[in-house]
Chains A and B, each alone.
Chain A
Amino acid sequence: NAGVTQTPKFQVLKTGQSMTLQCAQDMNHEYMSWYRQDPGMGLRLIHYSVGAGITDQGEVPNGYNVSRSTTEDFPLRLLSAAPSQTSVYFCASSYSELNTEAFFGQGTRLTVV
């Protein structure tokens, strides 16, 4: 039972490049979310999904897109990377939006130069 798996663990991008951060969970959780973590700011919610085919914006959605075509996968797309998107990104899942015990992946450390 792998839990929440994020790939890659590390990534360096040039300004303007696009990329997709992958997130997969094998716990049959309905709720999935993406956070970014910056020093002194805790985790900030980017986008979340309460089930396949349903996504919504969090606190800091600009510059990011998500889709949820299956229960297992919730990829995060950076459309045109900017240095301000340098951060550590965490994907999380929970059984439902009402049962909010969140299980986190190990994170993706992204640097945009």
Chain B
Amino acid sequence: TQLLEQSPQFLSIQEGENLTVYCNSSSVFSSLQWYRQEPGEGPVLLVTVVTGGEVKKLKRLTFQFGDARKDSSLHITAAQPGDTGLYLCAGGDNDMRFGAGTRLTVKP
């Protein structure tokens, strides 16, 4: 079983601050995905990272895949209240597994 550990579990910051959340595993993944989930909704895909060392940017969000393809990070610049949500990383092929998530709250 490929386990994904996310940290921190909870994060509460003020609008305008920067933050980084992490997704770590002892297993190698062919790709990792990041999802964002809002209350009462299913997760929505933000990005897929495939190549070791890859960096992808989505507006104020920067995603990095570790060189060894065992870990990934999500950095948010100048966080806004609209970034509030549960951020989940996921990996695997047939049996895609999710981490427990980081619950982010951005206060105005």
Contacts and interface: CB of A to CB of B under 8 A. Distances in A.
A100 B1 contact: no
**B contacts with A: majority SS:** loop
Contacts of A4: 42
B10 to A, nearest CB: 10
Interface residues of A, number: 27
A58 to B, nearest CB: 6
A73 interface: no
A101 B90 CA distance: 10
A12 interface: no
Interface in A35-59: 35, 40-45, 48, 50, 56, 58-59
Interface of B: 1, 6, 9, 31, 33, 35, 40-45, 48, 88, 90, 92-101
Interface of A: 4, 31, 33, 35, 40-45, 48, 50, 56, 58-59, 90, 92, 97-98, 100-107
